[in-house]
């Protein structure tokens, strides 16, 4: 579901440059290998991690975009607790540092609005 309100950063200021979509709203599936995707946009994503990650640290992510494995360097921008029943998890917001042009094209294709009536 596309959020009606956009999350905000420190002092109530929105820092995202592009809106994010949840996995069910994507035109094509996207996967983060080794983690659960919470939402994604052209500038970054939020994943669920079992441990907190330090803001400003760098990550090397493996995504599956358009059916192809894609290596992506990203920087942690925020990390906050996400309770999942008895299990503790962390929501980690990351900003993409660099996407190859072919990977960006596959990402943008997946982020197109999902057609209604599709199973």
Inter-residue contact 87 to 93 (CB < 8 Å): no
Q: Is a pLDDT exceeding 90 seen at residue 7?
A: no
Give the contacts of 63 (CB within 8 A, at least 6 positions apart).
30, 31, 32, 33, 69, 70, 72, 103
pTM of the predicted protein model: 0.80
Confidence at residue 1, expressed as pLDDT on a 0 to 100 scale: 38
Give which of 66, 64, 21, 65 is closest to 46, Cα–Cα.
Answer: 21
Q: Output phi, psi for 10, to 5 deg.
A: -55, 140
User: Which of 12-21, 45-54, 67-76, 109-118 bottoms out in mean pLDDT, i.e. has the lowest?
Assistant: 12-21
pLDDT in tens, 23-58: 999 999 999 999 999 999 999 999 999 999 999 999
Confidence at residue 70, expressed as pLDDT on a 0 to 100 scale: 94
Confidence at residue 12, expressed as pLDDT on a 0 to 100 scale: 53
């Amino acid at each position: 579901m596309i959020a009606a309100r956009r999350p905000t950063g420190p002092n109530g200021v929105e820092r995202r440059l592009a809106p994010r979509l949840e996995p069910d709203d994507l035109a094509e599936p996207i996967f983060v290998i080794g983690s659960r995707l919470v939402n994604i946009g052209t500038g970054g994503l939020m994943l669920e991690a079992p441990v907190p990650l330090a803001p400003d640290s760098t990550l090397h992510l493996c995504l599956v975009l358009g059916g192809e494995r894609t290596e992506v360097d990203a920087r942690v921008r925020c990390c906050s607790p996400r309770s999942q029943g008895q299990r503790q998890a962390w929501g980690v917001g990351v900003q993409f540092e660099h996407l190859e042009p072919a990977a960006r094209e596959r990402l943008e294709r997946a982020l197109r609005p999902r057609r209604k009536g599709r199973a």
